[in-house]
Amino acid sequence: MFKADLLDKPDRLLVLLLEDLYLADGAISKQKLSQDLEISLSSLNRYILQLKQLLAPQIKRGLIKLNIHSQQLDLKLIGQITLDELYCDQALRNAINYQILLLLYRKGKVTLAEFSRELAISEASFYRHVKQLNLLLTEFNLVIKQGVLCGTELQIRYFYYQLFSLLPLTTTKTNILHEQYIQLLEERFAYQFNTVAAARIKLWITISLQRQLTTLRPDRRLPAAITELSRNNVLFDQMSANYRQLFGQMDNAAAVFETKALFAMLISMTVFNSQAALVWEFADIYTHNDTELSQLLLAFNQSVCQSLAIQPERWSFSFSKLLFDTLTRPYLFTGELNKFTLKQTAYYRTFYFTHEIQQSVQRLLQHLKNASCVKLRQLVLKNEAYFRRCLLLVITEFAGQQTQEITIGIETDLTDALVHLVVNKLQQQMAGQVLIEVTVYQPGHDYDLVLTNRRVTAVASGQPLYHFADLGSWRDFQNIKNIIIRIGHKKTNLTKFN
């Protein structure tokens, strides 16, 4: 499910049009826009005029320029402004589908009369929107029936957690109990949450307290995995005791559900980093208890290790934590609300991740989809887009951790000043991409690459060598850059597969 799916078609097309312009590097033809949006040129022109009206405040403030020509148009960003700030968030907050979900969150059960009055829509329009929402909510195993959002309470809270993470509530009041609970956790676990992690915990507790107020008969069934992970787990016992102490008395069934639901959130929403001692302790506990999660992680880690040909000595605990975070969310919860559309996802994937990294992840995904572990295979097949996105980040992070310095020797007939000129240019080319050490070539030393402008060279046979003429050219430096990048990937084993 994509965030933009909550919009009605006219607003969704406006958002997609704005997205095309925002991501384009310069002008884009109307013909291409009409093809991308699958609308006629006349319809496109109407949407362009609507977009111009919507963006008028930002244009007036000098943040953007929208240049419209007969055959093309382009959006120029002058100030710092995001796509969401331009229009997307406003469109989503005004969307009927979002308003329906918000009313259900605030009231729990809403009558048809209340929906009609609050949203100013007809009965037919309301049922049409509910039908649209139910198609989207299927991914979360949820459905709207008789004015109630139905499904397990855990899944309902998870859905609202995802929704409000992307589109924050505007009326949330500061609750001192949230601060006190986080402080208790920090004291008990000897760990300090960063701002983002603390905000995630507060959001989950805010949603939980609201659901307690508005839900008469919640479906408190929990996945067996959560019960298994909390059993014989001293960390869960400590967290549970703190929760009961702070949030008052409640019947035992409610207390068990609330603490286990919060526990599931804490271990699956990247709240703790790999440096926390309690993360190591939790890993020992769920491994010692031989949980299904520990078996899945073992199969997941083995697949990654085999697919990327990673040697055991290069496997750090922080890398294991990244894989744990990737696997645990789809293991404990169902569904995902994506911030980015398919086009944005493709754009950022191309922009941030090298072709080699993308190939590595593609082959790893194929390996996982054929894994001997049935449960792992099913999780990956069901959540392929999620795993692709996470593994791109994980493998890029691993490559960064494993980056080794590439040694380059220079053997030339140039003066020292000209050698320095070549070296400086090479370092500029590689800045921020690969760590290189460039020195004058010395016979007997081992280099990853030797650069020379001599016709007859004394470089040892078998030593990787690149010839250039005089001071080299733009093409030479591009070739050298590509060679160095390939060497870097080879040294991190990201192009090796079984």
DSSP letter, residue 23: H
pLDDT tens column, 430-488: 776 677 888 888 776 778 888 888 777 767 666 788 888 777 888 888 888 888 877 77
Of 227-241, 268-282, 356-370, 436-450, highest mean pLDDT: 356-370
* Confidence grade of residue 149 (pLDDT, cut at 50, 70, 90): very high
Q: Which two tokens stand for residue 109?
A: 């059960």
pLDDT tens column, 185-228: 888 777 778 788 888 888 998 999 899 999 988 999 999 999 99
pLDDT tens column, 244-254: 777 766 788 88
Which residue has better confidence, 86 or 388?
A: 388
Position 427 scores a pLDDT of 82
Position 255 scores a pLDDT of 86
Position 493 scores a pLDDT of 53
b/e per residue, 184-206, with b = 16+ CB within 10 A?
bbeeebebebeeebbebbbbbbb
d(CA 452, CA 441): 9
> Which residues on adjacent β-strands are paired with residue 440?
410
Over range 252-269, report the average pLDDT.
89
Q: Which two tokens stand for residue 452?
A: 């020379």
State the average pLDDT for the chain.
Answer: 86
Q: Which two tokens stand for residue 357?
A: 């990294």
- Residue identified by tokens 């169902």 is 334
Sorted by where each starts, the structural domains of the chain and their CATH numbers stand as 3-85 (1.10.10.10), 95-150 (1.10.10), 176-201+216-400 (no CATH), 406-491 (3.40.50)
Q: Which two tokens stand for residue 59?
A: 């244009």
pLDDT tens column, 40-95: 999 999 999 999 999 999 898 888 899 999 999 999 888 778 888 888 888 999 99
